[in-house]
Amino acid sequence: EVQLVESGGGLVQPGGSLTLSCAASGFTFTTYSMNWVRQAPGKGLQWVSYISSSSSTIYYADSVKGRFTISRDNARNSLYLQMNSLRDEDTAVYYCARARGAYDWFDPWGQGTLVTVSS
């Protein structure tokens, strides 16, 4: 069974840092690109970042560029999101989702991990 399990969320003060992890299982991790998507409380979905299977290509949403860093460890079947200079507006549930080829995007998703930025 394909599984994505996020972890690392929690309460952090504005300006603080946090690293999220996404553990993948049930599929060949090295053949998939990965994404982070977030959802603020009561709001819609927002794509955050993308990393290719070999880490050679990376994209970010403008709202997180320069503050967040996506990475992966193919030996550990894991995806990461290092989040620095956190703001109130980064408060959200963060999901990881895989992607491959032209159309196999965002299926499945993990269960999400909640990040709360508050003093």
What are the residues binding another protein (CB under 8 A)?
35, 44-47, 50, 59, 61-62, 95, 99, 102-112
Taking the complex as a whole, the smallest distance from the CB of residue 111 to another protein amounts, in Å, to 6
Minimum CB distance to another protein smaller for 23 or for 61: 61
Taking the complex as a whole, the smallest distance from the CB of residue 41 to another protein amounts, in Å, to 11
Taking the complex as a whole, the smallest distance from the CB of residue 119 to another protein amounts, in Å, to 26
DSSP notation for 20-80: EEEEEESS-GGG-EEEEEEE-TTS-EEEEEEE-TTS--EEE-TTTTTTEEEEEETTTTEEE
Minimum CB distance to another protein smaller for 13 or for 111: 111
- Under a CB-based contact definition with an 8 Å cutoff, are residues 36 and 20 in contact? yes
Taking the complex as a whole, the smallest distance from the CB of residue 60 to another protein amounts, in Å, to 8
Diameter over CA atoms, the chain: 42
Residue 88: DSSP 8-state: G
Minimum CB distance to another protein smaller for 35 or for 53: 35
